[in-house]
Amino acid sequence: KETEFMIRSECSLRHSASLANKVFIQRDYTDGTVCKFQTKFPSELESRIERTLFEDTVKTLNNYYAEAEKIGGQSYLEGCLACLTIYLIFLCIETRYEKVLKKISRYIQEQNEKVYAPRGLLITDPIERGMRVIEISVYEDRGSSGSSSGSSTTSSSGR
Amino acid sequence: MKNCEYQQIDPRALRTSTTRTSTNKNVRVRRKWEVFPGNNRFYCDGRIMLARQCGVLPLTIGLIFITSGLFFIFDCPFLVHNLTFFIPVIGGVLFVFVVITLFQTSFIDPGILPRALPDEAADIEKQIDNSGSSTYRPPPRTKEILINDQVVKLKYCFTCKMFRPPRTSHCSLCDNCVERFDHHCPWVGNCVGKRNYRFFYAFIVSLSFLTSFIFGCVITHLTLRSQSMNGIIQAIKESPASVVELVICFFSIWSILGLSGFHTYLVASNLTTNEDIKGSWSSKRGEESGNPYTYNNIFTNCCVVLCGPMPPSLLDRRGFLLPDDAPQIVTSDTELPHFVAKNDTNMCTQGTKELLESMAHSTVIQSTCAPDTPKTTPVPQESLLRTVSITVSPSSKSPSTGCSVCQARCPIDAPCSQRGNKQAALHTHKPMLRVSSPPYSLGHSPIILSDTPDMGFIPLN
């Protein structure tokens, strides 16, 4: 499960690194209430990861969420079927949204393994944070003084 | 103001607390619903949830069961014998429909947004903190965004420590922020929000059918019986239960049918009860106002609201609490330095009033929003703008429309300043600002004033 992977990743990172900072990518509501995250590159990550990689991750996540919330033929079919069965069908089958959420968690796991963990970063699945934020944990090597937490107070004013 | 102590969250203090190890190794691992901070009750190990004040849900259930029971026992035999056996079949189907949709409305998560964890709240605090002073409570915060060319204000929820998404509202009875909040229904004992609105609508529609059906059948029954008995009084004596059903149905029909009609209108225009009552998108406030969420097509609106994708619950009630997670949840019991969050609206209105007083009577806009002694003469628009370090182009038609002066040329992250009087409210819903996200900034920008009590301020340096 996602949580177990997060714990294992965190533990493995913690053996050689300590949590220095957390960066939060907030929601972007300009398209309404659909789930979409801001693609603006946070300044705290400038030294840690390339801008394009980060933007790709966020854009892919946004596309996944758009697919989950897409209103079209399949969602209407699901809705009508649910209405006819007095919504009891939700007890039996997995909704399309839930299927896409599983895809998202697999994608995040893969991104963490391939892209973020080698750079000392860890992405938390937004569903674990109530879809409010994408939380990116920034780890520092224990060897360094771990003073990067001070940079967040000044850099956040630039947002 | 005095009832709220505002302190900055210090994330470093939070991190040190996570190093506390639990000394009692024999503590049973708890599920997340057991530490849920809202006002909810959980049953069946977190599978079922209700509001703590379940209102008149027992009465609703009782009325439905009693009326239907009396109908099946006393009226159906006569009607089956004299008319058709389809009557109890239809009645049974409707009854099952009503009960199931009622339970689905009452027992599921209406779309509650879990509260922000302390790290997140601290991050937001850092972004919008003006002076960093921990002694003065900052005024309430809002964020303006543009949705479909419509300015929408996002308010900061002091209890949940986050900016509420659009259409989200904080229910004071349940103490939760609920997405697409419609209303808190005492009859079903739960909030009606994004996840259970379709069940609620199905419930009231099927209940109107059921009450009308029972009412019609009972009238038919009494009529037929009185014809054969040569008298209505005799018929009533033979079947007294029918009168009970008649009375209950008669009084329910008006309210249930009215409610169904009202909610059909809301569904067709993609509105919530909350927005309709507050008049958020009513045309009284300005011609450009309109619901930004509607698809401008009744059929599409209905399909989206009732048959749209079903989002999953964000609460993870049955997940296990990890030992590290326990101190992270922002509850009133935690010993971490955090806000003493009181009633949001009281804080908002108090802060609004105080700031209005200080703004209306002072000639200098201060970033720390220190309240000044009130003077009698209000500040003219022009002098307010002069003290503000944004560039505006004078395109206003009249000084009383306040912010129209700066609407054309405001820098994207500097919301307009307005006069603190009633005329300022006229233009607040005009889509005048194209703001990028996040639209508030810590640069040199004025403080926004708004006269209506449910609009807040953006304290900006």
**What is the per-residue pLDDT for B335?**
39
Cis geometry, peptide bond prior to residue B438 (ω within 30 degrees of 0):
yes
CA nearest neighbour of B310 among B194, B219, B401, B418: B194
Whole-angstrom Cα Rg for chain B? 28
Rounded Cα distance between B309 and A78, Å, is 8
Residue A29 in tokens: 């509501």
**What is the per-residue pLDDT for B170?**
92
Residue B143 in tokens: 């964020």
Lowest mean pLDDT among A8-22, A32-46, B180-194, B312-326: A8-22
* Residue B377 pLDDT exceeds 70: no
Residue B430 in tokens: 């005009």
Average pLDDT, chain A: 79
**Mean pLDDT, residues A148-155 taken together:** 41
Q: Measured between CB atoms, does B303 come within 8 Å of chain A?
A: yes
pLDDT, tens digit (0-9, with 9 covering 90-100), for A22-55: 888 888 888 878 888 988 888 888 888 888 989 9
* Residue B405 pLDDT exceeds 60: no
**How many CB atoms within 10 Å of residue B296?**
10
Give the chain B residue nearest A134 (alpha carbons).
B120
Quick check: B165 and A31 CB within 8 A?
Answer: no
* Residue B313 pLDDT exceeds 60: yes
Structural contact between residues B403 and B431, judged by C-beta atoms closer than 8 angstroms? no
Strands B162-163 and B150-157: antiparallel
Give the chain A residue nearest B304 (alpha carbons).
A71
By percentage, how much of chain B surpasses pLDDT 90? 18
Give the chain A residue nearest B117 (alpha carbons).
A129
Quick check: A83 and B319 CB within 8 A?
Answer: no
**What is the per-residue pLDDT for B69?**
92
* Residue B207 pLDDT exceeds 90: yes
Residues 34-63 of B with CB under 8 A from A: none
Active site residue B76: no
* Residue B429 pLDDT exceeds 50: no
**What is the per-residue pLDDT for A13?**
57
- Binned at pLDDT 50, 70 and 90, residue A85 comes out as confident
Give the chain A residue nearest B119 (alpha carbons).
A22
Contacts of B311 in chain A (CB under 8 A): 69, 97
Give the angle subtended at the CA of A19 by the CAs of A18 and A23, to the nearest 5°. 155
Contacts of B312 in chain A (CB under 8 A): 95, 97-98, 101, 127
Contacts of B239 (CB under 8 A, 6+ apart): B74, B75, B78, B221, B222, B225
Contacts of B360 (CB under 8 A, 6+ apart): B374, B378, B379, B419, B420, B421, B449
Rounded Cα distance between B193 and B275, Å, is 13
* Residue B158 pLDDT exceeds 60: yes
Contacts of B308 in chain A (CB under 8 A): 69, 71, 75, 79
- Smallest Cβ–Cβ distance between B126 and the set A40, A75, A153 belongs to A153
**What is the per-residue pLDDT for B420?**
38
More confidently predicted of B313 and B28: B313
Q: Which of B157, B160, B185, B217 is catalytic?
A: B185
- Binned at pLDDT 50, 70 and 90, residue B338 comes out as very low
* Residue B253 pLDDT exceeds 70: yes
**What is the per-residue pLDDT for B327?**
44
**What is the per-residue pLDDT for A89?**
81
- Binned at pLDDT 50, 70 and 90, residue B201 comes out as very high
- Binned at pLDDT 50, 70 and 90, residue B215 comes out as very high
CA nearest neighbour of B5 among B398, B339, B332: B339
- Binned at pLDDT 50, 70 and 90, residue A3 comes out as low
- Binned at pLDDT 50, 70 and 90, residue B28 comes out as confident
Residue B175 in tokens: 């103490």
**What is the per-residue pLDDT for B140?**
59
**What is the per-residue pLDDT for B126?**
77
Q: CA of A71 to nearest chain B CA: how many angstroms apart? A: 6
* Residue B340 pLDDT exceeds 50: no
The amino acid that residue B447 corresponds to is I
Could you give the count of Cα atoms lying within 13 Å of A136 in the half-sphere of its Cβ?
24
Lowest mean pLDDT among B204-208, B288-292, B367-371: B367-371
Three-class DSSP category at A157 = helix
DSSP annotation of B293 reads T
Could you give the count of Cα atoms lying within 13 Å of B224 in the half-sphere of its Cβ?
15
Average pLDDT, chain B: 69
Structural contact between residues B195 and B111, judged by C-beta atoms closer than 8 angstroms? yes
Rounded Cα distance between B372 and B361, Å, is 8
Structural contact between residues B330 and B117, judged by C-beta atoms closer than 8 angstroms? yes
More confidently predicted of B347 and B124: B124
* Residue B91 pLDDT exceeds 90: yes
Residues B203-215, buried b or exposed e (16+ Cβ, 10 A)?
Answer: bbbbbbbbbbbbb
Q: Measured between CB atoms, does B93 come within 8 Å of chain A?
A: no
Contacts of A157 in chain B (CB under 8 A): 127, 442
**Mean pLDDT, residues B62-85 taken together:** 89
- Binned at pLDDT 50, 70 and 90, residue B458 comes out as very low
Q: Of A33-47, A134-148, B44-58, which has the strongest mean pLDDT?
A: A33-47
Three-class DSSP category at A68 = helix
Contacts of A7 in chain B (CB under 8 A): 322
- Smallest Cβ–Cβ distance between A30 and the set B147, B312, B322 belongs to B147
The amino acid that residue A93 corresponds to is I
- Unique residue bearing structure tokens 């922020």: B177
* Residue B104 pLDDT exceeds 60: yes
